[in-house]
Amino acid sequence: MEQFELEDPLPDGAYNIGLIYNLKKGIRTKVIDEEAEYDSIDTITAIKSALASKGHNVVLLEADRALPENLKKARIDIAFNIAEGIGGRCREAQVPAMLDFFGIPYTGSDSATLLIALDKAMTKKFLSPLKIRTPRFALFAPGDIIRKPRLQYPVIIKPNAEGSSKGISDSSIVMSYDELREVLDRNFRLYGCPMMAEEYIEGREFTVGLLGNKGDIRVFPPMEIIFKKKNGKNFSIYSYNVKQNYEEYIEYKCPADLTPEQEKEMVRMSETIFNALGCRDSARIDYRMSEDGKIYFLEINPLPGLAPGYSDYPMLAEYSGIGYVDLINGILGAALNRLGMKDRGDQAR
């Protein structure tokens, strides 16, 4: 898939863009969601086509061990980064750190933001001075003595540094200390990483998308994730299985049925979190609203999925009147403006 030479001269004003990604390979492991965060070739092709439609040349660069050498050969003007990285809680920071090292500008948040945001516990601690309401939690690592946490059941258990609902299933909700120990032991064996136990908030689930940068951020109206049916324990969780079979389990409503005050609070919280973490260009933030109307921050993804017709972020944009091609080029445009590089894609087209 490497593509380093230009077949024709670029139109005047267009950019040579490196699309950096991790590709699903269909690898079979002991867990079904091993590659949950990686992108399909269809998503990569869709992003490439969207950028090329504005006259840009797009170089495909897989984020593997050959990436440093391939970056040297590619001679790109800017990287469009969707890479999740390989291994460990710092993996999303790998590509941005490498691009900074080589002095290559790129879309999206930098390594520091991606490192903090992927770590759910660290994000909560980072935001605590801002009084952002979030469910109480406890963190457990493999090898720890699992003591009774000071949490109110039910509790949801999830990997502390994973995205795309990886490691979250119907059995992630526990009702007792014994169940908590059982699920933690199983997850440590399967995933081998720290786990967060978080108080489950009974109520409604929402997600909010942001596009742009501080001083010029567009916040898409909140979208509600409505569960058609609950799991075996009668809870609604946005699990890996639910996301894979969303047409069976989920309805999306945007704009959500919120009072003006509730929507204003969710938008305000989103801007506060986005700016506090130093997010750039795009992000998506998840919330729960308890039955008494309190809004709880769950997590943020400053590297939101961009699969057309599937990922929540493109859905949020579409409900706001922004088609897929315009969204992808909007992310690029936000980065170009932030970097002081003129967005001349329309002229090139």
- Identify whether the C-beta of residue 170 lies closer than 8 Å to the C-beta of residue 237: yes
Residue 235 sits at φ, ψ, to 5 deg, of -120, 155
Does domain 117-133+203-327 match CATH 3.30.470.20? Answer: yes
The CA distance from 124 to 203, in Å, is: 20
CB within 8 A of 166, min separation 6: which ones? 33, 36, 37, 159, 240
- Annotated domain spans of the chain: 117-133+203-327, 137-199
Domain 137-199: CATH superfamily is ATP-grasp fold, A domain (3.30.1490.20)
Look at residue 173 in the predicted model and tell me its pLDDT.
93
Report the Cα 331 to chain-centroid distance in Å.
14
**Does residue 254 contact residue 221 with C-beta atoms inside 8 Å?**
yes
Burial class (CB in 10 A: 0-12, 13-18, 19+), 27: exposed
pLDDT in tens, the chain (349 residues): 444 343 444 555 689 999 999 998 777 777 666 667 888 999 999 999 999 999 999 999 999 999 999 999 999 999 999 999 998 889 999 999 999 999 999 999 999 999 999 999 999 999 999 999 999 999 999 999 999 999 999 999 999 998 867 778 888 999 999 999 999 999 999 889 999 999 999 999 999 999 999 889 999 999 999 988 776 567 788 877 777 777 788 899 999 999 999 999 999 999 999 999 999 999 999 999 999 999 999 999 999 999 999 999 999 999 999 999 999 999 999 999 999 997 554 443 3
Residue 239's CB: how many other CB atoms inside 10 A?
A: 24
DSSP symbol at 237? -
- d(CA 228, CA 247) in angstroms, rounded, equals 9
Quote the pLDDT of residue 12.
54
